A and B are shown apart, each in its own frame.
Chain A
């Protein structure tokens, strides 16, 4: 049961058949996705191989600063992905979002590896980095959805927001509904994942542990911690980022800055 079957390079390349099918579909139906599929495949190989070597090196070296540096780079990369998806030019949201992500994800990864799992040291890269990675990956999508929604809704409903401001609402009251809708739009995928987990799909981490020979009853405990961690960190990060960014959408006279 504990034996892990290695995947040879030849077997790995055999998996490219799936990409071939996707490319053929895109070609036949003119989906215009061939270039993106190619780049995505190359990046998947390159990034994961790089990550594999980096993790091997970090696990061997057992250096706190190296672990923190990798964590920092992971959050920074996530921030650039969020920026690429949101594409907002007018409101400066990069630095507050990045700082909130950094603090919130660090606290979550620290709590999960150091307190719940109880690793010693707390930054044991075998736990700290995967926990951080899952939090970052999940919450990053929620943030991108929430930010994009807030900026779009505020632009589209600017006149309605200004009507409320003109009637004596402060900026929080005037944008209350947009704020709530944006945060919940970001949160819904994490909550849906909690509904479907174990019924509709077996999550990646749990599958990985089972493939690696862990008792499924231990694997599910880890998975439960992960699911709860994802919802909690996504909620906190989204709310804090949205509170800061929403303020930045209004000027000193509480006027709408987005045009």
Chain B
């Protein structure tokens, strides 16, 4: 089986900086895998996800998604298939429902039909957000609720790969446990491929993810 995502010889440095963040970094991700990427602060964990979804251009190397170079795929089409959720969840100043349906207003998603309000309610329950009403303002939610809502919004597009950047960094233990439980369920029950960048200690319940350490400008698989 071909890898879903393949990174070859990737290098990157921030604009105006001479030191490399990544050098000859390689990674191969198969469909259905669940990767946890750890590493010290400033090691470029978030940057790695941003490079995969083209929010930053690399200095060198190739990233292949489903066998195609990502630079050959229209950016909107690529980002619909591999969805990135940022560390600080961003909401538009509108209702929960409008936020969840936002991706359906974009041309790249015009062929998809948006979920009904009932389907949204059912999904909110799955994300431990049963107390949240679709009509209420998204701006008034807590960070933990916004984080789960942001993951849910990305999932509504049915992406092949989900990139989660520090999804638990601003959360208390209880909320963080909920997010980890959601990730595990998405991977085991729905077969979603996930790459999660995190600082947090995660104790898997049902399935152990592949643990990588980003150190010394490369990714190393931990035993």
Complex interface bits, B64-93 against A, C-beta within 8 A gives 1, otherwise 0: 000000010001110110011110101010
> A18-26, A135-143, A155-163, A217-225: which one contacts chain B?
A155-163
Please list the residues of chain B having a beta carbon within 8 angstroms of any beta carbon in chain A.
15, 53-57, 71, 75-77, 79-80, 83-86, 88, 90, 92, 102-103, 105-109, 150, 153-154, 157
- A231-259 contacts to B (CB < 8 Å): 251-256, 259
Q: Is B53 in contact with A168, judged by CB distance below 8 angstroms?
A: no
Note all chain B residues with C-beta closer than 8 A to A168. Answer: 76-77, 79-80, 103, 106, 108-109, 157
Q: Does A210 contact B (CB under 8 A)?
A: no
Q: Does A169 contact B (CB under 8 A)?
A: yes
Query: CB-nearest residue of chain B relative to A169?
Result: B106
Partner of B76, one of A162, A163, A254: A254
Instruction: Please list 25 pairs of residues, one from A and one from B, whose beta carbons are closer than 8 Å in the complex, sorted by A's number.
Output: A159-B86, A159-B88, A163-B86, A164-B102, A166-B79, A166-B83, A167-B79, A167-B80, A167-B103, A167-B154, A168-B76, A168-B77, A168-B79, A168-B103, A168-B106, A168-B157, A169-B106, A169-B108, A170-B76, A170-B106, A170-B107, A170-B108, A173-B105, A251-B57, A256-B55
The complex places the Cα of A255 from the Cα of B71 at a distance, in Å, of 12
Note all chain A residues with C-beta closer than 8 A to B80. Answer: 167-168
Given A166-B85, A170-B75, A255-B56, output 9 extra A-B contacts at Cβ < 8 Å: A160-B90, A165-B75, A166-B55, A166-B83, A167-B79, A167-B80, A168-B77, A255-B55, A256-B55
Note all chain A residues with C-beta closer than 8 A to B154. Answer: 166-167
The complex places the Cα of A259 from the Cα of B83 at a distance, in Å, of 22
Q: Is A254 in contact with B103, judged by CB distance below 8 angstroms?
A: no
Note all chain A residues with C-beta closer than 8 A to B157. Answer: 167-168
- Closest CB-CB distance, B74 to chain A, in whole Å? 8
Q: Is A166 in contact with B53, judged by CB distance below 8 angstroms?
A: yes
Given contact pairs A167-B106, A253-B71, A162 touches B79 in the complex (Cβ within 8 A)? no
Q: Is B54 in contact with A253, judged by CB distance below 8 angstroms?
A: yes
Note all chain B residues with C-beta closer than 8 A to A163. Answer: 86, 90, 150
Please list the residues of chain A having a beta carbon within 8 angstroms of any beta carbon in chain B.
159-160, 162-170, 173, 251-256, 259
Partner of A162, one of B55, B108, B153: B55
The complex places the Cα of A167 from the Cα of B100 at a distance, in Å, of 11
Note all chain B residues with C-beta closer than 8 A to A253. Answer: 54-55, 57, 71, 75
Note all chain A residues with C-beta closer than 8 A to B106. Answer: 164, 167-170, 173
Q: Is A169 in contact with B57, judged by CB distance below 8 angstroms?
A: no
The complex places the Cα of A159 from the Cα of B84 at a distance, in Å, of 12
Note all chain A residues with C-beta closer than 8 A to B75. Answer: 165, 170, 253-255
Q: Is B108 in contact with A166, judged by CB distance below 8 angstroms?
A: no
Note all chain A residues with C-beta closer than 8 A to B103. Answer: 167-169
Note all chain B residues with C-beta closer than 8 A to A162. Answer: 55, 86, 90
Note all chain B residues with C-beta closer than 8 A to A160. Answer: 90, 92
The complex places the Cα of A163 from the Cα of B102 at a distance, in Å, of 10
Note all chain A residues with C-beta closer than 8 A to B105. Answer: 173
Partner of A167, one of B57, B77, B83: B83
Query: CB-nearest residue of chain A relative to B93?
Result: A160
Note all chain A residues with C-beta closer than 8 A to B83. Answer: 166-167
The complex places the Cα of A173 from the Cα of B157 at a distance, in Å, of 17
The complex places the Cα of A252 from the Cα of B108 at a distance, in Å, of 17
Q: Is B79 in contact with A159, judged by CB distance below 8 angstroms?
A: no
Note all chain A residues with C-beta closer than 8 A to B57. Answer: 251-253, 255
The complex places the Cα of A170 from the Cα of B107 at a distance, in Å, of 8
Q: Is A166 in contact with B84, judged by CB distance below 8 angstroms?
A: yes
- Closest CB-CB distance, B163 to chain A, in whole Å? 9
- Closest CB-CB distance, A113 to chain B, in whole Å? 43
Note all chain A residues with C-beta closer than 8 A to B76. Answer: 165, 168-170, 254
- Closest CB-CB distance, A255 to chain B, in whole Å? 5
- Closest CB-CB distance, A58 to chain B, in whole Å? 48
Query: CB-nearest residue of chain A relative to B103?
Result: A167
The complex places the Cα of A162 from the Cα of B46 at a distance, in Å, of 14
